[in-house]
Amino acid sequence: MTTPPVLTPIPEADLTDEQRALYDAILDGRKPISKNTSLTADKGELRGPFDPLLRAPKVGHAVQQLGLALRHQTDLPPAATETAILTAAIHHEAEFEWYAHANIVRTRKLITEEDIDRIRKNTQPEEADAALAWKAATALLKMKPLDAQLVSEVTDRWGEQGLVELTCMVGHYTHLALLMHALNITPPVPSDMRG
Q: What is the pTM of this model?
A: 0.93
Angle at 69 between CA 83 and CA 17, to 5 degrees: 125
Evaluate whether 168 touches 70 at the Cβ level (below 8 Å).
yes
pLDDT, residue 31, reads: 77
Spatial distance between the Cα atoms of 67 and 28, rounded to a whole number of angstroms: 13
pLDDT digits (tens, 9 = 90+) for 82-122: 999 999 999 999 999 999 999 999 999 999 999 999 999 99
Which of 82, 68, 133 lies closest to 111 in space, CA to CA?
A: 82
Kindly list the distances between the CA atom of residue 120 and the CA atoms of 99, 123, 134, in Å, as whole numbers in the listed order. Answer: 12, 7, 11
Q: What is the pLDDT of residues 40-49, one digit of tens each?
A: 888 999 999 9
According to the model, what pLDDT value does residue 192 have? 67
Q: What is the per-residue pLDDT across 173-195, written as a single tens digit (0 to 9) for each?
A: 999 999 999 999 988 876 666 55
Instruction: Output the pLDDT for position 194.
Output: 58
Please state, in angstroms and rounded to a whole number, the distance separating the CA atoms of residues 62 and 53.
Answer: 10
Q: What is the pLDDT of residues 134-167, one digit of tens each?
A: 999 999 999 999 999 999 999 999 999 999 999 9
Query: pLDDT-based confidence at 30, cuts 50/70/90?
Result: confident
